[in-house]
Structure 1
Amino acid sequence: MTTTDVTKVLVLGASGKTGRRVAERLRRRSNVVVRPASRSTRPRFDWNDESTWDEVLDGMDAAYVVYAPDLAAPGADEAVGAFARRAVSLGVRRLVLLSGRGEEGAGRAERTLGASGAEWTVVRCAWFAQAFSEDFLRDAVVDGTIALPAGEVAEPFVDADDIADVAVAALLDSGDAGHAGRVYELTGPRALTFAQVAAELSEAIGREVRYVPVPETEYGAMLTGHGVPEADAEFLAGLFATVLDGRNAHVADGVREALGREPRDVRDVVRAAATDGAWDAAAVTRAG
């Protein structure tokens, strides 16, 4: 397969942090047609409803696969495997899976992808640096306190733009580029504790942001108190406590392996977000 063979790409999770960026990059290519798919698009896609899969896959050459809520969720590997096999049966030749580091469920999903018969690439990622500006930690930064069951463990936060660049390269580049059959482990250039990230945020925003480590059970109760269903809160608290136990504290070379350049540092990500008014917008939203 050459680059020009991939002209139609399905993007799951196209409104999310990485899916949005992947779709934006693909749309800049004059010869690529992008099909975003979610429960709110037409055609509609729902991981829990296999009857929605065929229409979004029809006619596609490649797909960026993002599983919600997380590959660590029960049954995620079975769903990804079934989707991958269905994609191949409908003529989709290349699949790029967004995966997570240190998650047993993610590892199982990766293996089912590899067994599908597709040209596959796994993009296995550290915590997104944009979690502080575009995700669930955004309001915590606005409030000035980040509470997580992470202790003093370091995490090599990865830039979502780097993830998107690697994903697009894997989706579109020819087989000669060597992306097929590869697992790219993506991190930033250095590992920081959440306290160190809070210091970076404080400097970028111009006011104090502090990090408070909390036990897993207390964090789950905090989520429930903010309206998260109890089962979801328990799952998230357990997931965070697991992947933030030190197993992922090391830096990996996936960005350089895939793109031939260094990854972007979390300091640059939060400074750019501050310049763009990420937390100012959050403050306005909360005030309203």
Structure 2
Amino acid sequence: MKNFQEINTKQVLVLGGTGKTGRRVAEKLSQLGISVRIGSRSATPSFDWLDSSTWGTALEGMDAIYISYQPDLAVPGAVDVVSSLIESAKTAGILKYVLLSGRGEEEAQLTEQVLMNASVNYTIIRASWFNQNFSEGYLLDPIAGGYMTLPVGDVGEPFIDVDDIADIAVAAFTNTAHDGKLYEVTGPRLLTFKEAVQEIASATGRNIHYEQISSQDYQQMMRQYEVPEDAIGFISYLFEEVLDGRNAYITDDVFRALGRKAKDFSEFARETAASGVWEGELKEN
């Protein structure tokens, strides 16, 4: 069983390297002494998903690539863009591909098939809602403000921690045992969004109210906050379709990949509460 150093794969391009998963993948690889290049518009060299002329320089000299497509593989055109990126990466001599995919998203699974059929070494990590959506995403402000409204009720979601995702990605880059594997990752239990908010309230000792509203009211609220229409459409898709119960089951794929259990949401809530990020008064300073 060969490890990363034995297969001489020492340069990793991390696309979305400033995002929730990519930042952690980059940090963990760097801690192992592996050279990382961040793939983002603000990096040098820059990488822009919408400008393929930036791809060649970013790919040059790299041995492996972490693919996290922005904003999501479910958006129209994502399959074609990622397909083109994979072809460019093959031409550049990329040896290993790790793809962050989406659970319950037909478009994401079409992209998975493109990678599987590309005649390359790959690992696919299929995930849905992150724990960190509550602490690093657009759900942070409502939590800090003590009042969250969402168009979702009693559907259970097995929230996954992004550190588990990053650990699997790093394992895939450093051990060929993960080649050709698809890991559909989940947390260890199902929680509704209301239950997740209640766990955060308990961990912080704060009163955080959760209210379910209609999809139409939620869209109107986003428009009042001047959220772009394409973003509204994507968010509505996630709440109306992906959260229809299709992902309301857990897997043991974190254990299968790492030999340990996935982080529970309550542990995430305790650790994040201790950081103070959810404290309302902290947000105001």
**TM-score bracket relative to the smaller structure:** over 0.9
Instruction: Tell me if the contact between 1:149 and 1:216 (Cα under 8 Å) persists in the aligned partners.
Output: yes
Measured against aligned partners, the alpha-carbon deviations of 1:28-56 in whole angstroms (never above 9, x if no partner) come to 112x1100110111101011111111111
Measured against aligned partners, the alpha-carbon deviations of 1:60-110 in whole angstroms (never above 9, x if no partner) come to 110110100110000101111111111011110100011111011111111
Give unmatched runs, 5+ long, in structure 2.
none
Instruction: Tell me if the contact between 1:217 and 1:237 (Cα under 8 Å) persists in the aligned partners.
Output: no
The residue aligned with 1:266 is 265
**Aligned counterparts of 1:284 and 1:23: Cα–Cα separation in 2:** 28
- Equivalent of residue 25 in structure 2, options 22, 26, 30: 22
> Displacement of 1:127 after TM fit?
0.7
Instruction: Tell me if the contact between 1:72 and 1:239 (Cα under 8 Å) persists in the aligned partners.
Output: no
In the alignment of these two chains, the number of paired residues is 282
1:8 matched to 2:6: no
1:80 matched to 2:82: yes
Q: What aligned pairs does 1:1-288 form with structure 2 within 5 A after superposition?
A: 2-4=3-5, 5-30=8-33, 32-173=34-175, 175=176, 177=177, 179-280=178-279, 283-285=281-283, 287=284
RMSD: 1.3
Question: Normalised by the size of structure 1, how large is the TM-score?
Answer: 0.94
> Displacement of 1:238 after TM fit?
2.0
Give unmatched runs, 5+ long, in structure 1.
none
Runs of 4+ that moved beyond 3 A: 282-285
**Aligned counterparts of 1:274 and 1:39: Cα–Cα separation in 2:** 32
Identity among equivalent positions (%) equals 45
**Aligned counterparts of 1:195 and 1:12: Cα–Cα separation in 2:** 32
Measured against aligned partners, the alpha-carbon deviations of 1:238-258 in whole angstroms (never above 9, x if no partner) come to 222211111001011110111
Paired residue type of 2:151: P
Measured against aligned partners, the alpha-carbon deviations of 1:139-183 in whole angstroms (never above 9, x if no partner) come to 01012222222221010000111010001101121x2x2x11111
Paired residue type of 1:48: L
**Aligned counterparts of 1:248 and 1:217: Cα–Cα separation in 2:** 23
Residues 225 and 187 (structure 1), Cα distance of their counterparts in 2 relative to 1, 3 Å cut: same
> Displacement of 1:283 after TM fit?
4.4
Question: Normalised by the size of structure 2, how large is the TM-score?
Answer: 0.95
> Displacement of 1:230 after TM fit?
2.1
Instruction: Tell me if the contact between 2:276 and 2:282 (Cα under 8 Å) persists in the aligned partners.
Output: no
Residue 97 of structure 1 aligns to a residue whose secondary structure is: strand
| Greater shift in the superposed pair: 180-189 or 108-117 | 108-117
Residues 283 and 78 (structure 1), Cα distance of their counterparts in 2 relative to 1, 3 Å cut: farther
